Amino acid sequence: MPIVDIHTHVYPPTFVDLLRSRTTVPYIRNFPDAPDSARLVILPGEDDPSMPSTSRGRPIGPEYYDIAEKIAFMDMHQINTSVISLANPWLDFLPPEEAGEAAVRINNDVDGLCAKYPGRLFAFGTLPLSGPVETVVKEIERLKSLKHMRGVIMGTSGLGNGLDDPALDPIYAALEKHEQLVFLHPHYGLPASVYGPRASEYGHVLPLALGFPLETTIAVSRMLLSGVWDRFKNLKVLLAHSGGTLPFLAGRIESCIQHDGHLKNAGKTQNRRDLWDILKTNIYLDAVVYSKAGLKAAFEASGADRLLFGTDHPFFPPLEENANEWHSVTTNYKAILASFANDQLAVQNVFGNNATRILNLHT
């Protein structure tokens, strides 16, 4: 059974150089109190000076940038093919005048990494979203010419005002026209105030387990409410972490829409595509949710032919020294196998057939 990992990140060498050249988030730095171990500091709030530098962000080793490590990880977990993507925060932080050129450099770099392992690596490109709209559209068009690119990865900030911003319409139009799937991935989480004054005692649990999925859920709900899929009926979006909490909350979102007087008066409760339709037509979900309960919601919402295996490598490594298998991977394997215990075809679809079909990975 071919196994395809569609949620797996890299920071290619050109991006590592960029992060090393910076002193504000996001950055990579060797702090004086631990000069031999570099730290990757990317999330909002990870740079809090009250935190000792040795626990800021996360350690970064070659698993983040050495493509041979990716292949070794794939071999260890019987993964045949990976669709790699630049990890957050992508190019969101770049000054507008640098974004276009950086996207070209990094996308070429990632395409080149894929070329080293024919048939084993494909990629989602990255967009210069802090730059002018025309530059973003140009890069979407250019990505079509790169052999290994199969869509784009994007965060939830869009051009700075979120994914319900009408200024994104030319970008959505270009993605739809060029049949580029968007892999939508969180980064910004929720405002730090919701985690409370004791947040620093809780490591990364609240932002990663809850901030990330709620960020995705809110971003997609804003796309829905602003009519993105009424205007772009063929726009395809793959949601990270099984859609955040979208499959679980879809009923509530739809009910709130139907009971909203403001929307009714504005004529927005009629003649619209509902979330259930979009979940089964435009949205794909990764299977990175680590439980049967989460997979069940994803399956109910979108169907087993729209669920795709992923690992989130190189994030969530085992914390034990010298561990071989990654728990973050085997937990998802087991959840998929248990969820579709009586349906071997569904298992094969989720592990690889769906990705091969949807992303055209036939070699």
Binding interface with ligand URA (CB under 6 A): 9, 42-43, 87-88, 208, 312, 315
89 or 128: whose CB is closer to ligand URA?
89
Cα four-point dihedral sign 116, 118, 124, 129: positive
Q: Minimum CB separation from ligand URA for residue 56, in Å?
A: 13
For Zn ion (CB under 5 A), the number of binding residues is: 1
> Is residue 71 classed exposed, middle or buried when 0-12, 13-18 and 19+ CB atoms within 10 A define those classes?
middle
131 or 155: whose CB is closer to ligand URA?
155
Instruction: Give CA–CA dist 332/337, Å, rounded.
Output: 9
Q: Which of residues 264-323 bind Zn ion (CB under 5 A)?
A: 312
Q: Minimum CB separation from Zn ion for residue 95, in Å?
A: 25
DSSP 92: T
Partner whose binding site includes residue 208, from Zn ion, ligand URA, none (CB under 5 to 8 Å by kind):
ligand URA
Instruction: Give CA–CA dist 252/297, Å, rounded.
Output: 13
Q: Minimum CB separation from ligand URA for residue 38, in Å?
A: 16
Partner whose binding site includes residue 301, from Zn ion, ligand URA, none (CB under 5 to 8 Å by kind):
none
Query: Which DSSP string corresponds to 224-247?
Result: HHTTHHHH-TT--EEEGGGGTTHH
What are the C-alpha distances in Å from 148 to residues 8, 72, 141, 143, 345?
15, 20, 14, 9, 27
288 or 358: whose CB is closer to ligand URA?
288
6 or 304: whose CB is closer to ligand URA?
6
| In the complex, residue closest to ligand URA by CB | 315
88 or 302: whose CB is closer to ligand URA?
88
Q: Minimum CB separation from ligand URA for residue 11, in Å?
A: 11
266: number of Cβ within 10 Å: 9
Q: Minimum CB separation from Zn ion for residue 129, in Å?
A: 17
182, β-bridge pairs = 152, 237
137 or 336: whose CB is closer to Zn ion?
336
Q: Minimum CB separation from Zn ion for residue 344, in Å?
A: 28
DSSP H stretches of helix in the chain: 13-20, 67-76, 96-115, 133-143, 169-177, 205, 212-225, 228-231, 246-258, 261-265, 275-281, 292-302, 327-339, 344-348, 354-358
Q: By the criterion CB under 5 A, which residues form the site for Zn ion? A: 312
